[in-house]
Amino acid sequence: METIKVIDVDGTQLEVELISVFENHNNKYLVYTKGERQKSGNLILYITRLTIKDDVYCLENITDDKEWDEVKKLMSRIINK
C-alpha cells in the first residue's frame, strides 16, 4: 500500500492511499482513496487530473464530460485487460 499526503481545500492534511496513475492523451490521472467504504463495502475512489505547476504536483477536478467519458473508457480498458 502506497500512501501520499495531500492538502485539501480547507488546508487539512490528509493521508490517502494511492491506487493508480495512468495517462491518456498526455494527461495524467491519479486514482486514490481515503479508505472510506460505502455501506455495501465498496471502496470509495477519487479520480483527478494530475498536473505539474512550478515543479509541484497538483490535483484538478475533471469537469469536462468528454474528458470524463474518455477516462472511463480508459479505465474500462485497463480493468478488462
Chain residues binding another protein by CB under 8 A are 4-11, 13, 18-23, 28, 31, 33, 39-43, 45, 53-60, 75, 78-79, 81
Report the residue number, 7 or 69, with the smaller CB distance to another protein.
Answer: 7
How far apart CA 26 and CA 75 sit, in angstroms, is 15
Return the closest-CA partner of residue 2 out of 38, 33, 46: 33
Residue 11 CB, nearest approach to another protein (Å): 5
Report the residue number, 5 or 66, with the smaller CB distance to another protein.
Answer: 5
> Hey, how many other C-beta atoms are within 10 angstroms of the C-beta on 11?
6
Residue 32 CB, nearest approach to another protein (Å): 9
How far apart CA 70 and CA 23 sit, in angstroms, is 11
Report the residue number, 9 or 66, with the smaller CB distance to another protein.
Answer: 9
Return the closest-CA partner of residue 31 out of 42, 52, 41, 16: 16
Residue 3 CB, nearest approach to another protein (Å): 9
